[in-house]
Structure 1
Amino acid sequence: MKAVVLAAGRGHRLGPYTADRPKCLVEVAGGTLLSRQIAALRAAGASELAIVSGWQGKSLEGRGLTVFHNTRWAQSTMVESLRCAAQWLSSTEVLVSYGDIAYTLDAARRLAKAEGALAIAYDPHWLSLWERRFTDPFDDAERFLLNADGSVAEIGGRANGPADATGQYMGLLKFTPHGWAELERVRSEAPVEVAATLDMTALLNRVIQAGRVPVVAVPAPGPWCEFDHPHDVSVGTAIVRRIDELRRISAGRQM
């Protein structure tokens, strides 16, 4: 199994934190988000790691990671960044992590063990985190609904209330080559002008609607946090410290 971190975006909403670096290199509680992502992905069984670079891409070189550079990072979506790693995705199982999140080793491990061609991690207890991040949590929450078999029934678009959000997608995915091929197939079936603008959840929702490959939903153990606004650094500092503590405890058990 391999792993890819998506870190091409400019991260404008984080303001001064990303003036000279990609979001994955923002430091929180004494370490970068990237260092924690690498630790979790390696713990989940990733033998090789890559990063998709864009904004301030040179800062991601020389870190022992394969670098796939998105030359069109300023004009393209997260989907286009993911496609930069197509040679890995088409040949082996790959864990994919957004570059602006922090999560536990167990969250990555649970996703790695998920069966199915395409799986995503989600937080079933998301509301308490969103209430700390936003004045109105439903200003940001996305629709996320499950089928009885645990697959995703709907993802993306604004959630209007609790009934629309069984959980929240975290930005952690797993693809087999078959799952990746289906994502690419669905994208190719969209009109060219639509395909160029599809974000990740919109494309995943199209995969669900196509009905050929289910999107498996994996409830992930917390804590975790997304870093999208300056306020998230304040909210996320205590969360990241707890993640670090859990990692130390895990390491101690393995000694």
Structure 2
Amino acid sequence: MRAIIIAAGLGSRLEHHTEERPKCMVEVGGRSILSYQLEALGQNGVHDIHIVRGYLAERLRVEGATYHENANFRQNNILASLFCAEEAIEGPLFSCYSDIVYTPEVVKKAVDSPHDIALVVDRQWHLAYQGRHDHPVDQAELVEVDGERVTSVGKRVGKENAVGEFIGLAKYSARGAQLMREVWRDVRAKFGDEDPFQAAEKFRKAYLTDLFEEMIARGIDIGWVPIDGGWREIDTVEDLERVRSEWVD
């Protein structure tokens, strides 16, 4: 099984920790953030690793991985980064943000999902924001559902309607990956880089969740995988210090 890890960004909110290395290579407990992801994925049979690189690309190397370059990482965002690996978007497949750690059990639940597209959603998301000051809750990619179906995802979802937070890990079947590619190609042809798209002010700055919102609007079913913790985001120095105290073998 394949995973595409989106690792092109600057990671500027980690300040000096990312001056000489990409965000996913910052260490937690003597190991890189990326190593935790590879371990959790590998324990679930996900060994075909693709990495989208940008910032300090030459310092992001993993044995056996396939690389895709985002030369415009300073001008675009997560969605454009993912589709720098468009030729690799064939299911079964995971897409994954590079600044999260998660347990093998989280991956197992996603692997077992019957949905063509399944977003991993933390129902205990609010606990991660207790005492978290540098990454406010209004930046959380929250998820609204109707039964097993996602009805909205992104930063515009209200806390009162949210079942949880999308953690940045999603699984796609072959059909799900094909649907995502088809919608991407359609919107890429229709929207200019500076045009607004879903919640993004500019298409080139769109998030993956904006594409999910477009797919939902087109009537494409997106499912969700409920978890209760078992992961952490590392976006700020505060996050890093917290994870270093909690997430150690």
Give yes or no for TM over 0.5. Answer: yes
Residue 232 of structure 1: how far off its partner (Å): 0.3
Residues 1:225 and 2:223 are matched in the alignment: no
Rounded to whole Å, the distance in 2 between the matches of 1:71 and 1:122 is 31
String of CA shifts for 1:46-85, please: whole Å, max 9, x gaps.
1311211110101123533111111222212111111122
Residues 1:209 and 2:217 are matched in the alignment: yes
TM-score (normalizing by structure 1)? 0.86
Tell me the secondary structure at the aligned position of residue 116 of structure 1.
Answer: coil
Matches for 1:128-139 after TM superposition, within 5 Å: 128-134=127-133, 138-139=137-138
Aligned residues: 238
Segments of structure 1 that go 5 or more residues without pairing to the other structure are 245-255
TM-score (normalizing by structure 2)? 0.88
Tell me the secondary structure at the aligned position of residue 3 of structure 2.
Answer: strand
Residues 1:239 and 2:246 are matched in the alignment: yes
Residue 98 of structure 1: how far off its partner (Å): 0.9
2:142 and 2:166 in contact (8 A); partners too: no
Residues 1:177 and 2:174 are matched in the alignment: yes
Rounded to whole Å, the distance in 2 between the matches of 1:112 and 1:57 is 29
String of CA shifts for 1:79-103, please: whole Å, max 9, x gaps.
111112222213x311121110001
Q: 1:103 to 1:136 in 2, by over 3 A?
A: closer
**2:56 alignment partner in structure 1:** 56
2:134 and 2:238 in contact (8 A); partners too: no
RMSD of Structure 2 on Structure 1 (CA)? 1.9
Matches for 1:90-239 after TM superposition, within 5 Å: 90=90, 92-134=91-133, 138-148=137-147, 150-161=148-159, 163-190=160-187, 191-193=190-192, 194=195, 195-211=203-219, 213-239=220-246
Rounded to whole Å, the distance in 2 between the matches of 1:85 and 1:42 is 20
**1:6 alignment partner in structure 2:** 6
Tell me the secondary structure at the aligned position of residue 228 of structure 1.
Answer: coil
Residue 156 of structure 1: how far off its partner (Å): 1.1
Percent identity (aligned): 29
2:21 and 2:59 in contact (8 A); partners too: yes
